[in-house]
Amino acid sequence: MAAAGEEGAYSYKGMSADNIKGLVLALSSSFFIGASFIVKKKGLKKAGASGIRAGVGGYSYLYEPLWWVGMITMIVGEIANFAAYAFAPAILVTPLGALSIIISAVLAHIILREKLHIFGILGCVLCVVGSTTIVLHAPQEREIQSVIEVWDLATEPAFLFYAALVITAVFVLIIHFIPQYGQTHIMVYIGVCSLVGSLSVMSVKALGIALKLTLSGMNQLTYPQTWAFTIVVITCVITQMNYLNKALDTFNTAVVSPIYYVMFTSLTILASVIMFKDWDRQNPTQIVTEMCGFVTILSGTFLLHKTKDLSDGLSTSLSMRLSKHIEEDGFGQEGIPLRRQESLRLP
């Protein structure tokens, strides 16, 4: 019995007080961010009806109050997310963004009339299961005493190499691919958002730790490294906002949200493992369980994405069959004949 108790205590070791705070903040962040996608989409649609669409380079949405409501909602969510990174590791906080996909998909179904197929609901369930798995096996937050420690981690050769690859890829996408394929290939805009996002999360985490230490009595605002992380955060967030607006205005919300989540989360976890070495503090069983949870979330988002395609395909196929049926039978809507029947002709 004692051994079983010790085993149980070990299983839940990862859920420290800080992890629980990070969990609560991440959950509230998902709600606000998921709702903001829908409000911003409605604002973009309204702005596009009376001005130049964001998808083709317009900024008329800046004069649309509804877009600003969505933007403020997203900011509230991002602030909660920002605070979550100060308390819990990125490998715990980032995957919980899957819940924002569920909220976004459900609200898109209700408000934007974007259909959610039965398999889309299954995708939502998979996202919840995967998120729960990761939450229960997340590592404890690394103890950091100064922003200088975070700077040292960020300037190690492995992370510098990753950052250089990301920046190069972003410039190639912006300069070469966006002008040619931005309006037709969803991965171009989302690729920029996700790559930049992986760097922004690492900087947000560093800045969050700096503010957390400052509020606890160890002032970190005197270090130039704190302000360097702040500049990186501002630059990355502005870039993400710009290209995410273009993606939302050009493509369906139910498609943008899951693809963005998958790419952003995958790259963020990779960046966190490289920079903070999260897996060094875990045993192989925990790592494998977390990966299974992440794959479960990916499966859920994939279902949400493909289900949207399936729904669109079924609608198109149904419309074509209905049109063909109408032409063959000679009846239009509400039973009005399109051509005169032979049996009704006078002799």
The structure's pTM equals: 0.67
Summarised one tens digit per residue, pLDDT across range 75-114 is 898 888 888 888 888 778 888 877 887 787 788 878 877 7
Calpha distance 326→335 (Å, rounded): 9
Lowest-confidence region among 48-52, 126-130, 292-296:
48-52
pLDDT at 56: 59
Helix 253-276 × helix 186-215 angle, to 10°:
50
> In 3-state terms, the chain is what percent helix, strand and coil (to 5)?
80, 0, 20
Residue 231 has pLDDT above 60, yes or no: yes
What is the DSSP-derived secondary structure letter of residue 177? I
Higher-pLDDT residue of 317, 263:
263
CB 282 within 8 A of CB 98: no
Sign of CA dihedral 13, 25, 93, 38: positive
Mean pLDDT of 121-131: 83
pLDDT one-digit tens code per residue, 237-260: 899 988 988 888 888 766 777 778
User: Is 33 a residue whose pLDDT tops 80?
Assistant: yes
Instruction: Average the pLDDT over 122-129 and give the result.
Output: 83
Residue 80 φ/ψ region, left for φ over 0, alpha for ψ in the -120 to 50 degree band, beta for the rest: alpha
Averaged over 286-294, what is the pLDDT?
87
Q: How does residue 13 score in pLDDT terms, banded at 50, 70 and 90? A: low
62-65, long-range: CB < 8 A, 24+ apart: none
Radius of gyration from C-alpha coordinates of the chain: 24
Does the pLDDT value for residue 271 go beyond 80?
yes
How far is CA 233 from each of CA 200, 249, 296, rounded to the nearest angstrom? Answer: 5, 24, 30
**Alpha-carbon span 266 to 194, nearest angstrom:** 9
